[in-house]
Structure 1
């Protein structure tokens, strides 16, 4: 036995009963003839629209208000009242579904019945909270609003006994998904949304948002039947700005031997604004606008030292200095700040950051050393001068070139630093001064702002004629102090004293000699002459000394004192101190000693004569004593 298979498509008839309300007044009629309905597949309607969609059935209600379709294949149909009897309101589109179920077509006369009322059009209202900039739905609860019927000038409200005792509902608040659908329908007309509270992070929309309930613009709610009108309530998210003020000391004047500084705003400092933590989209959709540590904006201060950022989303931030102004040290401190919501009436929140930079300082330290031993010396005066005109921050000359800024005295225990708080070189390009040529030893850039030189040497040393130039130009923002160290090496004065025979000019030994300070009468050095002479070191330049013979060499007449002055010279000063031989006298058989006057220097005649008499007397006494012993 063979089984016959049928390929019958699931289908069903639809019966529409049309009833209506005339002129919006109460009272139904048994049936309404002359209403035309057209059936199209809803899926095709959504793609190409009603006019282009295939019409599966077009029919008109009979005198009793009934319309029965032919068999329609399974599917969801959009039914449109394409003709409305005169004097009645047309019904809104509705959807009807024929299920794909064999039981529906096994009994062919089964009919799906639908009653259509021609009542005034009403629509549910769905309010969606949107971000004004991005158009995203704000996934936050808390947008509270009222709905006003502009045609009647009344606010929409209804009674909800479940809310007793506050049973009148006249305002609504969005849920976590940023939407809310009113529990009442609105008739055709003109309305407006009036926001009374904005969600967190947003500014209250003060202007009403108008909308219209109309049959021309609506959607079908989830029940596939009820019209629903969607209105967007748009709010502006709150933004923030940060103002950075950069300050630092600037040179203004020079008074009483001191440089004067005052704190001012500094231009040309560069900063980076970074996300301290992830900065999220204000709509709460989870999108990260800026990742933690990401550079968001670079700012540079203007004249006056301030700069304000562009608008930033609310969140936590860090401010880092990227580049210090000329002449200042980079401030490595990271400043944190938060741009926080301050209420629905504040559209931009402001934060201020103050950052101070230290000036790059100049330290000049000097030491005075013995040129040979390298030991520190005390008593030298080292002076710091302005090598060129010194300009202040405003471009005015406050110190003229050649001005003595400070003098310090060297110590025997090491280096000494100038105490002046020296400014950096702020000389304008056009103001560079031509410098005169010097014969002294020059060390460094002769166009530098400062020069250091020895103005008084230590006692017993020659003046060091060297100029050390201090370059006060800004180096790098990472260096807080420019340190300049200079060693002044001084040569001790050297005086070679030779005791010589007045005739042979050869050095003689045995003379006891002294060098005496003429002013203080203090014995500076004392020695007995030797063949190689004697070197005296450390005599003070320009001072007068006396060379005094305490005891003459045997056979020589005591020499008269001689004065000498120490010159400013690196050459060894040589002093020759001559002695005249004593005359020989013959007693008895001894030869006579003739003392020719011409052999005795005129200036020494009196002294030599006195010593000659004393010598002759001594010889006579010795001669008598020897005779007695014989």
Structure 2
């Protein structure tokens, strides 16, 4: 039996065992020659990575991957030389520490690798994309055939971060239309501006782990401007959900007695837009303040009393401007009670005369008693 035990570096030791039979055939032949052709192969591995946007399939350049040995990798030339230990970075060509960066076509080509098992992982994603934490197992082990090239093709798709921004009514949580919004980064740079609709606004490509500020530039009519909302984009790839709530403006209008400050019933009141004169609402006062919601911020209104309750004078108009707040704003209109003036004399003269006569007789009796006492 003829068996190869060592071959050149880069080649695979032949596993074939050659049977050689040196049997004498006759008494004349002095030399028996047996020829055996032994061939060796020098296989190598190639890894090709294609990096693309998951949604647009756009090629992504500048993404960094690292290649490491999944297990100890030895030479197959019979020397059993340890080429890479498990976990070692594997660098080919101009790569350092096993790092490879996608080119302008979004590709990485790694060739000339020895046969073995490898791991490839993404270590630096592009800004605005979700980090791909998947570790790709690449098995390019010798399969004991005459194959020369072992290759692995990887099509790696990345998705951009997704942020859902809702502009809602603080009371019913329904989406509000007409709010002018802007998104800024921590440095104050405007990232995007838009006007809210009935649907959630989606922004893709914000940087994971980075803080952003949602600002309301102009609230919808009838609503107060909301405070800024600061949020951080999720790093786990899940959708970042941001909600900004707008409070509707609220005004409580009280019709009160100017003296007691208590609510007065029965006054007929009207609220008008000062600028246009348009009637906003009319009502009759009750024992509680009358609430009106949805008045426009910074607009001036006129409260007018059409008819005062019985016993009160009609009050002067009250002007007020709506403040930019979701707190309840209070407006008070005071009514003065009418003065009661008597125009006739309803004195009971008969009773008064009788009272005077009785008083006179009593006084006379007292005088007589005093005089009699003096005489005695």
Taking structure 1 as the reference length, the TM-score comes to 0.41
Gaps of 5+ in 1: 1-126, 140-176, 182-219, 250-260, 275-280, 283-294, 314-318, 389-400, 426-444, 591-630
Cα separation, 2, equivalents of 1:492 and 1:379 = 14
C-alpha displacement of 1:302:
1.7
1:28 corresponds in structure 2 to none
SS in 1 for 2:161: strand
2:284 to 528, 549, 552: 528
Are positions 1:560 and 2:362 aligned together? Answer: no
2:43 corresponds in structure 1 to 239
Contact 1:364 1:485 in 2 (8 A): yes
C-alpha RMSD of matched pairs (Å):
4.5
1:263 to 60, 77, 83: 60
Contact 1:129 1:232 in 2 (8 A): no
Cα separation, 2, equivalents of 1:489 and 1:361 = 26
1:323 corresponds in structure 2 to 121
2:194 to 407, 424, 443: 407
2:207 corresponds in structure 1 to 424
Are positions 1:501 and 2:298 aligned together? Answer: no
The structure with more strand, counted as a fraction of residues: 1
C-alpha displacement of 1:416:
0.9
Aligned length: 308
Contact 1:545 1:565 in 2 (8 A): yes
C-alpha displacement of 1:340:
11
How do 1:196-595 residues align onto structure 2 when only pairs under 5 Å count?
Answer: 221-222=23-24, 227-229=31-33, 233-248=37-52, 263-264=60-61, 266-270=63-67, 300=98, 302-304=100-102, 305-308=108-111, 310-312=113-115, 322-327=120-125, 328-329=131-132, 349-350=148-149, 353-388=152-187, 401-411=188-198, 416-419=200-203, 421-424=204-207, 448-471=210-233, 475=235, 481-582=237-338, 584=340
Contact 1:246 1:301 in 2 (8 A): no
User: How big is each residue's C-alpha offset from its partner over 1:229-271, in whole Å with a ceiling of 9 and x where there is no partner?
Assistant: 556544222423223234245xxxxxxxxxxx86226332447
Cα separation, 2, equivalents of 1:469 and 1:540 = 29
User: How big is each residue's C-alpha offset from its partner over 1:261-320, in whole Å with a ceiling of 9 and x where there is no partner?
Assistant: 86226332447899xxxxxx99xxxxxxxxxxxx9x98655234332252439xxxxx99
Cα separation, 1, equivalents of 2:273 and 2:337 = 28
Cα separation, 2, equivalents of 1:521 and 1:336 = 81
Cα separation, 2, equivalents of 1:377 and 1:423 = 24
2:357 corresponds in structure 1 to none
Contact 2:120 2:136 in 1 (8 A): no
Contact 1:498 1:534 in 2 (8 A): yes
Contact 1:363 1:483 in 2 (8 A): yes
Taking structure 2 as the reference length, the TM-score comes to 0.64
Gaps of 5+ in 2: 78-85, 91-97, 103-107, 126-130, 347-376
User: How big is each residue's C-alpha offset from its partner over 1:59-98, in whole Å with a ceiling of 9 and x where there is no partner?
Assistant: xxxxxxxxxxxxxxxxxxxxxxxxxxxxxxxxxxxxxxxx
Cα separation, 1, equivalents of 2:230 and 2:41 = 64
Which of structures 1 and 2 has the larger relative contact order (alpha carbons within 8 angstroms, sep 6+)?
Answer: 2
Change in CA separation of 1:536 and 1:528 when aligned onto 2, cut-off 3 Å: same
Change in CA separation of 1:265 and 1:382 when aligned onto 2, cut-off 3 Å: closer
Cα separation, 2, equivalents of 1:331 and 1:484 = 21
User: How big is each residue's C-alpha offset from its partner over 1:431-452, in whole Å with a ceiling of 9 and x where there is no partner?
Assistant: xxxxxxxxxxxxxx8xx34222
Change in CA separation of 1:375 and 1:416 when aligned onto 2, cut-off 3 Å: closer
Cα separation, 1, equivalents of 2:295 and 2:252 = 11
SS in 1 for 2:123: coil
Cα separation, 2, equivalents of 1:363 and 1:471 = 9
Cα separation, 2, equivalents of 1:241 and 1:320 = 11
C-alpha displacement of 1:564:
0.7
SS in 2 for 1:235: coil
Contact 1:221 1:227 in 2 (8 A): no
| Largest Rg, 1 or 2 | 1
Contact 1:131 1:236 in 2 (8 A): no
C-alpha displacement of 1:326:
2.7
1:105 corresponds in structure 2 to none
User: How big is each residue's C-alpha offset from its partner over 1:399-455, in whole Å with a ceiling of 9 and x where there is no partner?
Assistant: xx42242334153xxx61234x32435xxxxxxxxxxxxxxxxxxx8xx34222333
User: How big is each residue's C-alpha offset from its partner over 1:468-491, in whole Å with a ceiling of 9 and x where there is no partner?
Assistant: 22236xx3xxx5x33111222333
Contact 2:184 2:213 in 1 (8 A): yes
User: How big is each residue's C-alpha offset from its partner over 1:487-528, in whole Å with a ceiling of 9 and x where there is no partner?
Assistant: 223333222211123344332211111222234444333221
Cα separation, 2, equivalents of 1:136 and 1:349 = 14
Contact 2:51 2:59 in 1 (8 A): no
Contact 1:240 1:339 in 2 (8 A): no
Cα separation, 2, equivalents of 1:340 and 1:298 = 24
Change in CA separation of 1:496 and 1:135 when aligned onto 2, cut-off 3 Å: closer
Cα separation, 1, equivalents of 2:67 and 2:211 = 28
